[in-house]
Amino acid sequence: MIRTAATARGIVLVVLAACNPLSGQEDARLQETLTEPPVLTSSNGVLDATLTVQATHTHVGGRPVLLRTYNGLESPPTLRVKPGDTLRIGLINRIDQSTNLHHHGMNVSPRGNADNIFLHIAPGDTFQYQVVIPADHPPGMFWYHSHAHGLSEYQVMSGMSGALIVEGLLEPVPALRDVRERVMLLKDVQVDSDSAIPDDIDSNAGTTRLLNGRVAPTITIRPGETQLWRIGNVGADIFYRLRLDGHTLYEVARDGNRHNRIVQRDEIILPPSARVEVLVQGNRPGVYQFRTLGFDTGPAGDQYPEVVLGTLVSQGSATEPVALPSQLPAVEDLRTKQVTAHRTIVFSETADGDTFFVNGRMFDPSRIDTETRLGALEEWTIRNASDELHVFHIHQVDFQVTEIDGVAQPFVGYQDTQITPVRGVVKVLIPFSNPVIAGKFIYHCHIMGHEDNGMMATIVVR
């Protein structure tokens, strides 16, 4: 939690009712109001795109608001690429702040004009990013966003984040290749009395929750129909505790990493920056709420109320549900390999919750905090020395969670984001094995108010 003067400036609270006025109207023929972002797709191995960072006047929840956006869109283009493609993005900065671009979760180079968050693009400048995607890159959902230190929280809450899809997630399962796919981006917006994003965001103040830039849109499905929902928490600070009434969420991937089997979930917690890809099979005709349940991040943290994110309507002609496989392609369990180094990473903060540390030090981009070499497999023990949740994230690589507070975790696959419990301990295995990642990058808490205020460190892979 970051306690600031935001409340004193008059945050406007937009409250969404938890009730569903459509409940009981089964087989209601309702029009879908969920809209997906525009799509840019690679061609002949290249995706050329331009993202213009600009001030944008729009409305959120019926209220005017001034945002900072890509191409004037609260939900900017979804970039779709294949393993082996090259992603070329021209970033044009037309706002009064420096900015940059991070390709979150991607196993790509951190050097030069690739996924280099140490670059800052000044107001009025244009920069050409070029990211080469390895031929063996995992398929799944990733995202892009501003990572300008000290400005990340403000710029992402203003709208500067979008989806990035690497194709091929369901290719190994022929029965699922043609299911309808949805990209569902979860964001929130906090608006001050001047109809703008406040400079001093209060992570515990009220916000408007958005699904693809809309407040509580309607989603349709046929009874028995199988859909793939790619859900990403692409906001700045907020946690989501997802539940779809009347439905099981069949999780096939996390953070762009396919599992070795499908995992059935009644609820899914998505901390900031996490993504999940789930199969949904339509229940009998009726109306169901897609909601985020109430969530508490600890006595020094934030408390988020339950909010309806959308309404799922099951209607139309029924279809036979697709038989879901018991197994997906094998994923290597890193516990079978030899660990080459052990490290302890401690997240802590000051008593007033305004300053944050990694191993007792605030972020300094000129300092190297950790060094390792290609080929290393390291066990990191992440300790949370505070009274609120933190969210461990490392760039360029994925990791395997092995223990949470001393409890061994079942192995289903890898991820790039993990909640660290209040006063708790998480153990992860991190493989620094892919040659493309050689260079300098960072690890940090992905609550953006925390990283902007010091909870970030630099690592070099030699």
Sign of CA dihedral 101, 107, 108, 111: positive
Does residue 336 surpass a pLDDT of 70? yes
Q: Last residue of some domain: 256, 284, 314?
A: 314
Same structural domain, 345 and 310: no
380 shares its domain with 450: yes
Last residue of a domain, one of 281, 314, 347: 314
**Phi, psi dihedrals of residue 219, rounded to the nearest 5°:** -120, 140
pLDDT at res. 14: 34
Exposure pattern of 104-130 as b/e (b: 16+ CB <10 Å)? bbbbbbbeeebbbbbbbbeeeeebebe
Over residues 284-332, the pLDDT tens digits come to: 999 999 999 999 999 999 999 999 999 999 999 999 999 999 899 999 9
Region 349-355: mean pLDDT is 95
**3-state DSSP helix/strand/coil % of the chain, to nearest 5:** 5, 45, 50
Q: Does one domain contain both 277 and 340?
A: no
| 257 domain-assigned | yes
**Average pLDDT, whole number, for the chain?**
93
Count the domains in the chain. Answer: 2
My answer on whether 361 and 450 are in the same domain is: yes
Q: Are residues 192 and 304 in the same domain?
A: yes
Using a 10 angstrom Cβ sphere, with 0-12 exposed, 13-18 middle and 19 or more buried, the burial of residue 460 is: middle
Looking up tokens 């403000």 gives 154
Evaluate whether residue 109 is within a structural domain.
no
- Answer yes or no: do 339 and 370 share one domain: yes
11-45 pLDDT, tens per residue?
333 333 333 434 444 444 789 999 999 999 999 99
Q: Which of 253, 286, 314 is the last residue of a domain?
A: 314
**In a shared domain, residues 369 and 435:** yes
pLDDT category of residue 10 using cuts at 50, 70 and 90: very low
Tell whether 214 is covered by a domain. Answer: yes
296 and 422 fall within a common domain: no
Identify any residues that bridge with 21 across adjacent strands, giving them in sequence order: none
Residue 1 has what pLDDT?
58
Cα dihedral sign for 21, 25, 26, 29? negative
In a domain, 397, yes or no: yes
Q: How confident is residue 274, by pLDDT bands cut at 50, 70 and 90?
A: very high
Q: What is the CATH number of the domain that holds 221?
A: 2.60.40.420
Residues 281 and 339 in one domain: no
Question: Looking at the predicted structure, is the pLDDT value of residue 128 above 60?
Answer: yes
List all residues 6 or more positions away from 410 whose beta carbon is below 8 Å from its beta carbon: none
233 located within any domain: yes
- pLDDT at residue 118 above 70? yes
Do residues 303 and 369 share a domain? no
Tell whether 263 and 385 lie within a shared domain.
no
Written as one letter, the residue type at 410 is: P
Same domain for 338 and 310, yes or no, is no
Structural domain for 351, as ranges: 334-461
More confident residue, 37 or 2: 37
Which tokens belong to 293? 């349940």
Whether 391 is in a domain gets the answer yes
* 241 backbone φψ class: left, alpha, beta (φ>0; ψ -120 to 50): beta
**106 — alpha (psi -120 to 50), left (phi > 0) or beta?**
beta
Structure tokens at 365: 């981009």
Mean pLDDT across 77-101? 98
> Stretch 203-220: mean pLDDT, rounded?
94
| Inside any domain, residue 246 | yes
pLDDT tens digits, 147-185? 999 999 999 999 999 999 999 999 999 999 999 999 999
Q: Does 322 fall in a domain? A: no
